[in-house]
């Protein structure tokens, strides 16, 4: 899943109750962490907490952490050092400040966080955050609480229903987690160790949450999972459903204009899901399908269990089903043992696919993963040089895709105000940010626009006369 950093969960529309506590949540990492932060905010609401965007006024500060990047734990400990000083200053004023660490670093570090940062009150893993209110109550007794055991119960059943006001405050697009964990065990990846094995939420639980989101004003839902297209569950009439079946069911919800999903694994891209891309206009023509490398030798060392040729054939099938689809990918350069020939195989695959968007990184070891123990590590200098060459090619393809959109008339979902008066920012079907002067429209509308130009990271458009949906 591509990286995302958010400073806080948006504040509730409703005014805080007198004497209510305030929580500030700093969210690191992927879209699933953004979703998790929202659900932690929901869970804390029952304890009298309201969210704030100002860290200085918070009674509780939560760091919802990500372990996917190198030195992630170091960044967390650095932040905790600053929070320790803030907590001391509060104590001198006779005021309480509680500190919590959640997410994947919490899962990976556990008790070590308390040892290195004694100011922390609660350490809670991604499978146990529904128990956060209870953990805080226990921590007020004076002893830090660490809860990183994989929960036997379904955490989603124990989370409170998100109120309409909170849904409206969070905007017209929403994330919805349908699957967690991963059984693929790629040798570079820490996810199976921090998020656990693959678990899929039941159909009705997902549908009910989607209905509530739409009822609260959401127009676009992105289904989330560490390996989202591995989602499997029993259908309403028995038999196993796959992600394609779930998308068909969600597309029936009145008022839900757009569906997306991320992140996928090539091995789980089945016929039903490809068929959904062909038949569902609600399903946006954008697919994030990481490959990581183009060399079969490196793919085998990564335990990806597919070849470069198999990936290319899969892309061809997907494009046959949905010719206008934009493909995004992930790449790791400098995996142990990668030669110049291996890297050139990656460049050739990129040329063959022609990506609309991509995320690329230098390989970095993750303690506890098989890749950390491999020999023949590639030097940092070589990794940096290869990454520069790869990113130059990917940026060229991204720019060419953006230019190919100029002149097209598209449906644009308006999401938030722009920087200029009357300007609104929306997302194209291909997930690009689009700036448009839409003085007669409002956030949540889907309007028809013509793409007029490109910027470094966004598009510009002029509105058409007709309003497609309000």
In sequence order, what DSSP letters do the residues of 166-181 get, joined into one string?
HHHHH-SEEEEE-EE-
Residue 374 clears pLDDT 80, i.e. is over it:
yes
User: What are the structure tokens assigned to 366, written together?
Assistant: 């993750």
Domain-located, residue 60: yes
Q: Distance between CA 412 and CA 86 in Å, rounded?
A: 44
Residue 249: the pLDDT is 98
| Boundary-marking domain end, from 98, 127, 147 | 147
Residue 7 clears pLDDT 60, i.e. is over it:
no
Q: Where are the alpha helices (DSSP H) in 285-379?
A: 296-301, 308-321, 340-353
CB atoms < 10 A from the CB of 88, how many?
Answer: 11
Let me know: does 28 contact 72? Beta carbons within 8 Å. yes
Residue 12 clears pLDDT 80, i.e. is over it:
no
Beta partners for 425? Answer: 416, 435
Please state the length of the chain. Answer: 470
Let me know: does 448 contact 409? Beta carbons within 8 Å. yes
Domain-located, residue 465: yes
Beta partners for 463? Answer: 449
- Distances 426 to 17, 458, 463 between C-alpha atoms, Å: 33, 10, 12
Domain-located, residue 246: no
Q: At 74, is the pLDDT very low, low, confident or very high (cuts 50, 70, 90)?
A: confident
* 339-362 average pLDDT score: 97
In the chain, % of residues over pLDDT 70: 94
Cis peptide before 263 (omega within 30 of 0): yes
pTM above 0.75, yes or no: yes
Let me know: does 74 contact 36? Beta carbons within 8 Å. no
Residue 243 clears pLDDT 50, i.e. is over it:
yes
Q: Let me know the angle formed at the C-alpha of 209 by 205 and 210, rounded to the nearest 5 degrees.
A: 115
**3-state SS class at 102:** strand
Residue 6 clears pLDDT 80, i.e. is over it:
no
Domain-located, residue 217: no
Domain-located, residue 15: no
Average model confidence (pLDDT) across the chain: 91
End-to-end CA distance of the chain: 31
Annotated binding site for [4Fe-4S] cluster: 30, 66, 104, 182, 186, 189
Residue 283: the pLDDT is 98
- Distances 51 to 58, 272, 400 between C-alpha atoms, Å: 8, 40, 41
Q: Let me know the angle formed at the C-alpha of 401 by 174 and 466, rounded to the nearest 5 degrees.
A: 60
- CATH number of the domain within which 57 lies: 3.40.50.12160
Let me know: does 322 contact 356? Beta carbons within 8 Å. no
**3-state SS class at 339:** coil
In the chain, % of residues over pLDDT 90: 74
Annotated binding site: 30, 66, 104, 182, 186, 189
Let me know: does 203 contact 235? Beta carbons within 8 Å. yes
Let me know: does 101 contact 80? Beta carbons within 8 Å. yes
How many structural domains are present in the chain? 2
CB atoms < 10 A from the CB of 282, how many?
Answer: 19
Let me know: does 51 contact 25? Beta carbons within 8 Å. yes
Residue 375 clears pLDDT 50, i.e. is over it:
yes
Domain-located, residue 99: yes
Q: At 190, is the pLDDT very low, low, confident or very high (cuts 50, 70, 90)?
A: confident
Domain-located, residue 58: yes
Let me know: does 210 contact 255? Beta carbons within 8 Å. no
Q: Let me know the angle formed at the C-alpha of 370 by 68 and 301, rounded to the nearest 5 degrees.
A: 100
Q: At 19, is the pLDDT very low, low, confident or very high (cuts 50, 70, 90)?
A: low
Q: At 152, is the pLDDT very low, low, confident or very high (cuts 50, 70, 90)?
A: low
**3-state SS class at 205:** helix
* 434-446 average pLDDT score: 91
| Boundary-marking domain end, from 120, 147, 174 | 147
What is the domain extent for residue 137? 21-147
Phi, psi of 307 (to 5 degrees): -105, 170
- CATH number of the domain within which 449 lies: 2.40.50.140
Q: 201 or 29: which carries more pLDDT confidence? A: 201
* Closest C-alpha to 357, from 89, 95, 2, 21: 2
pLDDT in tens, 274-307: 999 999 999 999 999 999 999 999 999 999 999 9
| Boundary-marking domain end, from 147, 179, 206 | 147
Q: 86 or 19: which carries more pLDDT confidence? A: 86
Domain-located, residue 55: yes
Specify the pairing of strand 21-27 against strand 49-51: parallel
User: What are the structure tokens assigned to 50, written together?
Assistant: 């309201």
Q: Distance between CA 27 and CA 332 in Å, rounded?
A: 24
Phi, psi of 61 (to 5 degrees): -120, 125
Residues whose CB is less than 8 angstroms from the CB of residue 347 and which lie 6 or more positions away in sequence, other chains included: 294, 389, 390, 393
């Amino acid at each position: 899943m591509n990286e995302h950093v958010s400073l806080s969960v948006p504040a509730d529309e409703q005014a805080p109750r007198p004497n209510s506590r305030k929580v500030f949540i700093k969210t690191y990492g992927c879209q699933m962490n953004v979703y998790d932060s929202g659900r932690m905010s929901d869970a804390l609401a029952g304890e009298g907490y309201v969210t704030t965007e100002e860290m200085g006024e918070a009674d509780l500060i939560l760091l919802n952490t990500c372990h996917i990047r190198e030195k992630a734990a170091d960044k967390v400990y650095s932040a905790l050092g600053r929070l320790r000083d803030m907590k001391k200053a509060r104590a001198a004023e006779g005021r309480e400040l509680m500190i919590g660490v959640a997410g994947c670093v919490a899962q990976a570090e556990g008790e070590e966080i308390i040892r290195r940062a004694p100011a922390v009150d609660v350490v809670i893993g991604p499978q146990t955050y529904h128990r956060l209110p209870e953990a805080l109550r226990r921590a007020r007794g004076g002893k830090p609480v660490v809860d990183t055991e994989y929960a036997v119960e379904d955490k989603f059943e124990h989370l409170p229903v998100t109120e309409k006001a909170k849904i409206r405050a969070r905007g017209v697009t929403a994330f919805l987690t349908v699957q967690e964990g991963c059984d693929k065990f790629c040798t570079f990846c820490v996810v199976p160790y921090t998020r656990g094995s693959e678990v899929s939420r039941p159909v009705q639980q997902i549908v009910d949450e989607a209905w509530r989101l739409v009822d609260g004003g959401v127009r676009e839902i992105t289904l989330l999972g560490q390996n989202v297209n591995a989602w499997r569950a029993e259908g309403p009439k028995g038999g196993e459903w796959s992600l394609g079946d779930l998308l068909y069911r969600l597309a029936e919800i009145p008022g839900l204009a757009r569906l997306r999903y991320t992140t996928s694994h090539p091995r789980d891209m089945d016929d039903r899901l490809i068929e959904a891309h062909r038949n569902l206009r609600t399903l946006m023509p954008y697919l994030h399908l990481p490959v990581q490398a183009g060399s079969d030798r490196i793919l085998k060392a990564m335990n990806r269990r597919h070849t470069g040729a198999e990936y290319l054939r899969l892309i061809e099938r997907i494009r046959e089903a949905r010719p206008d689809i934009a493909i995004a990918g992930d790449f790791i350069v400098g995996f142990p043992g990668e030669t110049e020939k291996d890297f050139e195989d990656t460049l050739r695959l990129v040329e063959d696919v022609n990506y609309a968007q991509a995320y690329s990184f230098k390989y970095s070891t993750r303690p506890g993963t098989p890749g950390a123990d491999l020999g023949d590590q590639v030097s940092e200098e070589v990794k940096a040089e290869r990454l520069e060459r790869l990113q130059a090619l990917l940026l060229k393809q991204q720019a060419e895709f953006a230019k190919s959109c100029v002149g097209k008339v598209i449906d644009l979902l308006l999401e938030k105000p722009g920087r200029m008066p009357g300007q609104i920012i929306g997302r194209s079907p291909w997930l690009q940010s689009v700036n448009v002067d839409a003085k007669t429209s409002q956030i949540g509308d889907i309007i028809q626009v013509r793409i007029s130009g490109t910027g470094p990271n966004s598009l510009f458009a002029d509105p058409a006369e007709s309003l497609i949906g309000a």
